[in-house]
Amino acid sequence: MSSHNPPVVRKLTMAEALREALREEMRRDERVILLGEDIGVEGGFGGAFTVTLGLEREFGHHRVIDTPISEAAIAGLAAGAAMGGLRPVADVQYGDFLFLAMDQLVNQAAKMRYMSGGKLTVPMVFRAPVGATTRGAQHAQSPEGFFLHVPGLKVACPATPYDAKGLLKTAIRDPNPVLFFEHKLLYGSKGSRKEAGGWELVADVPEEEYLIPFGEAKVVRPGSRLTVVATLLMVHKSMQAAAILSESGIDIEVIDLRTLVPLDEEAIFASVRKTGRLVIVEEDNLTGGWGAEVAARVADACIDYLDGPIRRVAAPDTPVPFAPVMENFYVPSVERIVGAVKALLGAGGSVG
């Protein structure tokens, strides 16, 4: 019988799991610093969504650094600190604000390793909350697809507290810049600021050390009739759709990509070769999203295995509306996922 004690496992929210990852990495490596707006204010929330709550008390304001309200400055500071030997983890209060820092992220951080022939590295993480939460067009976008197009950046999209902790620890240790997207409705509200409409998501998270490698998707529900690929909140909606479909005898496979760069092509291809059908679900608007890239790669590698067209479930090509009833119409729903699956399994795979 083993003398080792069983691992300690707790139920944590996404925000708690992310905070634990930051705390562990800051204790492990004194080069890890945090940058952002209101992340260390005494008596504050700990950033917009409580992730850094209390960390300034343990590590001090020289490592949990409140910045001016300037995303360009935050990104420039993070890139410079990373090239100077630190490992900054910066955040913006809303992912939409990344567009204010595009030069620093796209022209500087992403390119420096290549331009220096590998002599410079930029080990920085940029955390960005995404997703529609009744805040209107400038605080609700899902801009992951923009950064999929930038060579030199890695892109992570955790859907669960377990994955959030493991992926963030991996991101902090990576020598390359990482865009780390977190859905605002998945943070959870246990002992923290409550997000209206948020999912009460908690999961088992071990206390012991673990990392999740980038580029390894996870089959969260095995199935044989059709493959659904999703990230972030859409993983959970796809799982709800799968439960509904199973009541009709339709057994679908759901894959959580976990990272978009690197992309686990082989996991997607293996599933599609098994099921013969693919539905891609993303919250971003349809045209030019990451789903289009996945569809193109599957068409290139698996065309002989497909028994119908590749179907994408995404938002319309409009800004995110503010009115709650319109936002509910805009964001892909469980019903739309169910409808897309049934249509694809029907005659000719057409979708009305």
Catalytic residues: 139
Between strands 154-156 and 259-261, the pairing is antiparallel
Distance CA 132, CA 198 (A): 11
Tokens of 40: 């260390």
Rounded Cα–Cα distance for residues 94 and 115 (Å):
30
* 89: β partners: 34, 125
Instruction: Tell me the sheet residues that pair with 64.
Output: 34
Q: Cα dist. 336→64, 182, 290, 296 in Å? A: 42, 23, 19, 22
The two structure tokens encoding residue 310: 């590749």
Q: Which H or E run includes 227?
A: strand 226-230
64 membership: H or E segment, kind and range: strand 64-66
Distance in angstroms (rounded) separating the CA atoms of residues 43 and 57: 11
Residue 240 CA, distance from chain mean position: 19
